[in-house]
Structure 1
Amino acid sequence: MTSTLVVGGSGGLGAVIARHFADRGDDVVVTSRDKARAEATAARIGPGTRGLAVDLGQPETIGAALADVTEVDHVVITAVGQAANSLAQFNVTDAVAAVTMKLVGYAETVRVLRERFNPGASVVLFGGLAKERPYPGSTVVSTFNAGITGLVRTLAVEIAPHRVNALHPGLIGDSPKWRDVPEPPHSAQTPIGRLVTMAEIADATEFLLRNTGVNAHDLHMDGGLLAT
């Protein structure tokens, strides 16, 4: 049975991705900083899914937190920390916490699991379109999402022959943040005439994990927005 770990899989997009892999028969582990939330999500997804508490914001604790994950085929790291933080009103504490979680935490998770990868194991790290399309208050978000590109490229060398890719979504139309907004930003600008969906993001995640020829790649899931 395929073993899939979704870090940050206790809600929103992460939970949809976890369910996607559970529905195809994978043995799935979902994580949250809060153990009860991770376990509740696992229970909703169903048998074969379990929850663990992992805090990427405290990288020194990740090894112990993942001790029960003894082997893995697929690792998906979706965890986010995207509080607005502009240069004009820069919060250093928040910036350090966000970058630590997104870059150091992501890297440490892969390092901890590397020796437990099954043959053919692969990794998908989540960034975001803010690295290409900054917006007011995205100083830190744009920076760490751009950092995901560099992290993927160096990890592809360091964990070879295992593969690692990055997925950078634009706004997701049916996400909790945007699904009830009548006219969300960018929807009229995309060539497809709408925002992408969580199901499309989950499908793209599976493609990156499955396709053995795709490595060290940044996949932008934006409905073509970058072409406009």
Structure 2
Amino acid sequence: MTPTARSSSEEFRSGQTTLTGATVLVIGGAKNLGLAIARRASELGADVVIGARDLDTARRAAADIPGATGIRIDVTDEQTVEAAVAELGAVDHIVTTAAAHHNVPVAELDHQSVVTAFDAKVIGPLMLAKHFGPIIAPTGSMVLFSGVAAWHPQPGLSIMGITNGAVAFTVSHLAAELAPIRVNAVSPGIIDSGTWDGLPDADRSALFADTAQTNLAGRVGRPDDIVDAVAWLLTAGFVSGETIHVEGGARSV
């Protein structure tokens, strides 16, 4: 009998549950990719904590994941980071998907919106490292989120590109400073994760079709593509200071 083919995610889930007993905090875990990451971490045996700016939102998302809990944490508000550290006491891994987009032409930039974008992608993770560093297990890690826009400059997307590019340097420096705690980033391409659901159907279809034509994989990304990469980084004990590109080869086109 010919064995039934399995997806990479099925193979990963059927392997060793290397997150068993670990506490994984997923900031931005109440929706879209963050929620998918939280669910996978739970499937791999982790005790999941979902962090969101609104506590009720975090708790509602956690209610759908066995054993998960919710906590209020806003990476742009250092006091909430400090409070989360005091409440949790110890964690093994942190994943943050936080972002604050400011996609306008340079001539229309708003100073505070630019600062908020850097808060979400760079300054916030630095504050996470500052306060959580002492309570992350030595075998633990942080996973930040960059994005393909950093490597594809386009008018109107400068702040997205610059902040995502800064994430790559952030993980390199934090990895050196927090060692042996590992710090890495995932850089997604265009992913059909729910993020684009607010677009009109025709615009979303056009975006996905263009994406499929302008990367080497010939398709738009799926949530499992990103979740698989994050799950691997959480368990890859010899990987630190790296940005893992999950964008179908879009940088090569």
Query: Greater shift after overlay, 180-189 or 24-33?
Result: 180-189
Q: Is the 8 A contact 2:48 2:67 kept in 1?
A: yes
Query: Greater shift after overlay, 13-22 or 94-103?
Result: 94-103
- Consecutive unaligned residues of structure 2, counting only runs of 5 or more, are 1-20
Q: Is the 8 A contact 2:143 2:230 kept in 1?
A: yes
C-alpha separation in 2, matches of 1:102 and 1:16: 20
- The residue correspondences of 1:89-168 to structure 2 (distance < 5 A) are 89-168=108-187
Instruction: Give the % identical residues.
Output: 33
CA distance change for structure 1 residues 43 and 152 in 2, over 3 Å: closer, same or farther?
Answer: same
Q: Please report how far the alpha carbon of residue 61 of structure 1 lies from its aligned counterpart in structure 2 after TM superposition.
A: 3.3
Matched length: 227
Query: Do structure 1's residue 182 and structure 2's residue 205 form an aligned pair?
Result: yes
Normalising by the residue count of structure 2, what TM-score does the alignment of the two structures yield?
0.85
RMSD: 1.6
Query: Do structure 1's residue 73 and structure 2's residue 92 form an aligned pair?
Result: yes
- Consecutive unaligned residues of structure 1, counting only runs of 5 or more, are none
Query: Do structure 1's residue 20 and structure 2's residue 20 form an aligned pair?
Result: no
Q: 1:216 aligns with which of 241, 247, 250?
A: 241
C-alpha separation in 2, matches of 1:128 and 1:182: 21
- The residue correspondences of 1:30-69 to structure 2 (distance < 5 A) are 30-45=50-65, 47-69=66-88
* Runs of 4+ residues deviating >2 angstroms: 173-176, 178-183
Counterpart of 1:209, as a letter, is L
Secondary structure of 2:87 counterpart: coil
Normalising by the residue count of structure 1, what TM-score does the alignment of the two structures yield?
0.94
Query: Do structure 1's residue 225 and structure 2's residue 244 form an aligned pair?
Result: no
Secondary structure of 2:63 counterpart: helix
Counterpart of 1:19, as a letter, is R
C-alpha separation in 1, matches of 2:180 and 2:85: 22
Counterpart of 1:130, as a letter, is A
Secondary structure of 2:48 counterpart: strand
Q: Is the 8 A contact 2:50 2:70 kept in 1?
A: yes
Q: Please report how far the alpha carbon of residue 174 of structure 1 lies from its aligned counterpart in structure 2 after TM superposition.
A: 4.0
Secondary structure of 2:70 counterpart: strand
Query: Greater shift after overlay, 80-89 or 212-221?
Result: 80-89
Structure 1 or 2: more helix by fraction: 2
Q: 1:10 aligns with which of 25, 30, 40?
A: 30
Counterpart of 1:18, as a letter, is A
